Amino acid sequence: MTRPNDAERGRNLLATARTGMLSTLGEGGYPFGSVVAPAADEQGRPLLLLSDLAVHSHNLKADPRASLMVTEPGAGDPLDLARVTVIGPVTEVTGADGPTALATYQGVHPGGLGTDHGFRIYRLDVTSVRFVGGFARMSWVDAAAYTAAEPDPLLPHVAGIVGHMNDDHGPAMVQYCQVFGDRPDTVTARMTGIDRYGFDMLATDGSGGEHHVRLPFAEQVTTPEGARKALVAMVQEARSQ
CB 198 within 8 A of CB 214: yes
Query: 60 pLDDT band (50/70/90 cuts)?
Result: very high
Task: List the single range of 1-5, 158-162, 214-218, 221-225 with lowest mean pLDDT.
Answer: 1-5
| Alpha carbon 204 to its chain's center | 27
Query: What is the model's pTM?
Result: 0.90
- Residue 63: pLDDT over 90: yes
CATH topology of domain 6-148: Pnp Oxidase; Chain A (2.30.110)
Supply the mean pLDDT for the chain.
94
Separation between Cα atoms, residue 128 and residue 86, nearest integer Å: 6
Q: Give the Cα-Cα-Cα angle 47, 79, 189 (nearest 5 degrees).
A: 100
| Alpha carbon 146 to its chain's center | 12
Other CB atoms within a 10 A radius of the CB of residue 195 amount to 21
The matching CATH number, chosen from 3.40.50.300, 3.30.70.20, 3.20.180.10, 1.20.1090.10, for 155-240 is 3.20.180.10
pLDDT mean over 26-38: 97
Give residue-wise pLDDT tens across range 110-124.
Answer: 976 777 788 999 999
Q: Which residue has the higher pLDDT, 158 or 79?
A: 158
Q: Do domains 6-148 and 155-240 have the same CATH topology?
A: no
pLDDT score of 49: 96
Separation between Cα atoms, residue 195 and residue 157, nearest integer Å: 10
- Residue 79: pLDDT over 90: no
Domain locations along the chain: 6-148, 155-240
CA distance from start to end of the chain: 25
Nearby residues of 216 by Cβ (< 8 Å), 6 or more positions away: 2, 3, 197, 198
CB 141 within 8 A of CB 10: yes
Give residue-wise pLDDT tens across range 6-18.
Answer: 999 999 999 999 9
Separation between Cα atoms, residue 108 and residue 74, nearest integer Å: 20
CB 56 within 8 A of CB 24: yes
Query: 73 pLDDT band (50/70/90 cuts)?
Result: confident
